[in-house]
Chain A
Amino acid sequence: MRTAVLFSGVSRHFGAVRAVDAIDLEIGEGEFFAMLGPSGSGKTTCLRLIAGFEQPTGGHIEIFGETAEGVPPYRRNVNTVFQDYALFPHLNVADNVAYGLMIRGIGKAERRKAADAALDLVQLPGYGSRRPSQLSGGQRQRVALARALINKPKVLLLDEPLGALDLKLREQMQEELKSLQKSLGITFVFVTHDQGEALSMADRVAVFDAGRIQQVGTPEEIYRRPRSRFVADFVGSSNVLPPDFVAKIAGQRKWASLRPEALRFVEGGGHAARVVTRSYLGGQTRVALDLEGLRLNALVSSTDMLPAEGATVRVDWNGAELHLMEDAR
């Protein structure tokens, strides 16, 4: 696998603010890569560094082996789907989609054909003569996608692409984006603050916090083996156990994470805990427990016999499920 995007020691400081601070990152060709983090964590700045809207204040960026610093966005074969879609209001859909080709001086007939094909690809056939203002949010996003893909970019950047869509449309677009990426083989880099979206769509995820990358890995690695408390907190609804407690049960003074579905109720042994609340989630029920003052969430099948609120129960888990974290942050 070739390297599509390479960051070595890249920083972007705005005065005293370190939006991106000495980041190393490697994104492979054909990967569907997610940058996940809360707002202000530096993920969007990273995307803008790849697009060329921002220049690094330190470090080195390569795109397919070529140096990218000092190269303006219009000389990068990289395209972006903007968060607000940024469709040109004065052009119709077809002219929006064909904008990149028009700039390259490609003839009208050819542009028209390519735009129609791109609109077919995003399942908006026959929408060419409409105005962007006549489209729904989901349709605008598809136009933005077609406008980027028509240029056959080496890397496609997506900035919170699904943020403005409602839940149902979001799920549908997740699948479509995924299959589009597989069939085109283009490297997709997308930014999101929604951990569910990142885990379900991406091949690999980078978790950002305060201008740094906390962890890079496959969704499963990130979810099952968070490297730090921040990742465990942000990525899942994992239970985070403090070192004092972990010392008692595992013999090591380290922070640990324990997934809620690893907890089960037992007749004897385990630990005594009080049921604080019960929340019915459909197939599963979340039970909030108080274990020696420690708050734990358990996710159990709704068909099981469930303890009542206020009841004292015994809970246990498989020792292998307890994940000790290397990083104390």
Chain B
Amino acid sequence: MRSDRASAPLALKIAAACGLLFLHLPILLIFVYAFTTEEKSYQWPPPGLTLKWFAVTWGRPDVWEALGLSVRVAAVSTAIALVLGTLCAAAVSRTKFFGRETISLLVILPIALPGIITGIALRSAFNLADIPFSVWTIVLGHATFCVVVVYNNAVARFRRTSASLIEASMDLGADGFQTFRHVILPNIGTALLAGGMLAFALSFDEVIVTTFTAGQQSTLPIWMLEELVRPRQRPVTNVVAMVVVMVTFLPILAAYYLTRDGDRIAGHGK
């Protein structure tokens, strides 16, 4: 914290405020459109406000199906990513071994490369191996790029957890398993929880890789994409969009509060 926090020049204040507004107004707009009475166009300002579309959306089985699939895929992918990401982070941060840079690169690659490359690579591999598309092929893709989120969070926390804590635990008579249970897990727990939530959010609204790895099933983002390309009932899309925003905000806020002392949410990476 600097002592002399002078106030910013007016131009800078305005530019920063405009930047933030630019980031937020479009999302807020979604919230307004969810209540519009207009069905056929994206007319602004809305001719009237109604809650009708919430009821209509509630009664749509295709939305529920898509939502259910998204939640299942995200839950399974997050679980796999938690295991793989934690193992990787523990190995990389606890021991110096030849090739640890390579491991980091390997974990980061699935999000560093454009999603379309990951997607098409997996799709052609499934075709070559004669694997039929199913929920599991979607999970396979999602878990692959979710690992990095858990990994980033866990590595940051491991780095903050001093190595002498583990030595202290062993010094006081705890073997490897006891040390893991009584010292390591409590110390990285919140970081893992945060990483898991972000992985869930990431998987929940992933669309690019999913378009390549899904067969007939549609996740919520796939459903939305179809509505975007060929709109059927615009107001329902508006409502779903708003719900998606709210559903993803919660885990992100939670992750932020879990990790805010010290390390930050590993935000780089979608």
Contacts and interface: CB of A to CB of B under 8 A. Distances in A.
A84 B170 CA distance: 16
A84 B162 CA distance: 9
Instruction: Name which of A72, A80, A87, A148 has the most chain B CB atoms within 10 A of its CB.
Output: A80
Given A84-B162, A84-B164, A103-B178, A90 B186 contact: yes
A73 B171 contact: yes
B227 interface: no
Interface in B141-186: 162, 164-165, 167-175, 178, 182-183, 186
A10 to B, nearest CB: 20
A86 B168 contact: yes
A63 to B, nearest CB: 14
A53 B163 CA distance: 11
A102 B173 CA distance: 10
22 contacts: A51-B167, A52-B171, A73-B167, A74-B170, A80-B167, A80-B168, A80-B171, A82-B164, A83-B164, A86-B164, A86-B165, A86-B168, A88-B168, A88-B183, A88-B187, A90-B186, A90-B187, A99-B182, A100-B173, A103-B172, A104-B173, A151-B172
Nearest to B190: A90
Nearest to A76: B171
Contacts of B173: 74, 100, 103-104, 151
> Could you say which interface size class chain B belongs to?
10 to 19
A206 to B, nearest CB: 22
A147 interface: yes
Contacts of A151: 172-173
A103 B168 contact: no
Instruction: Name which of B164, B172, B182 has the most chain A CB atoms within 10 A of its CB.
Output: B172
B172 A147 contact: yes
A69 B167 CA distance: 17
A100 B172 contact: yes
A82 B167 contact: yes
Nearest to A89: B187
Interface string A80-120: 10111011111000000001101110000000000000000
Nearest to B161: A89
A99 B173 CA distance: 9
Contacts of A82: 164, 167-168
Nearest to A99: B172
A169 B186 CA distance: 33
B178 to A, nearest CB: 6
A51 B169 CA distance: 12
Nearest to A91: B186
Contacts of A87: 168
A147 B171 CA distance: 11
Instruction: Name which of B171, B173, B175 has the most chain A CB atoms within 10 A of its CB.
Output: B171
B89 to A, nearest CB: 18
B159 to A, nearest CB: 14
Contacts of B171: 51-53, 73-74, 78-80, 148
A72 B169 contact: no
Given A88-B183, A103-B178, A103-B182, A73 B164 contact: no
B167 to A, nearest CB: 6
Nearest to A51: B171
A100 B182 CA distance: 11
Smallest CB-CB A-B distances: 9 pairs:
A86-B168, A86-B164, A100-B172, A90-B186, A73-B170, A103-B173, A103-B174, A80-B171, A74-B170
Interface in B46-93: none
Given A73-B167, A74-B171, A100-B173, 6 more contacts: A82-B168, A88-B165, A88-B187, A99-B172, A103-B178, A148-B172
A78 B172 CA distance: 8
A141 B19 CA distance: 49
A103 B177 CA distance: 11
Contacts of A100: 172-173
Contacts of A83: 164
Nearest to A104: B173
A171 B168 CA distance: 26
B193 to A, nearest CB: 14
Contacts of B183: 88
A111 B168 CA distance: 18
Contacts of A80: 167-168, 171
A74 B175 contact: yes
A122 to B, nearest CB: 16
A102 B174 CA distance: 9
Contacts of B182: 99, 102-103
A34 B85 CA distance: 44
Nearest to B185: A90
A80 B168 CA distance: 7
A99 B187 contact: no
Instruction: Name which of B173, B175, B182 has the most chain A CB atoms within 10 A of its CB.
Output: B173
Contacts of A90: 186-187
A249 to B, nearest CB: 51
Contacts of B174: 74, 99, 103
A61 B170 CA distance: 19
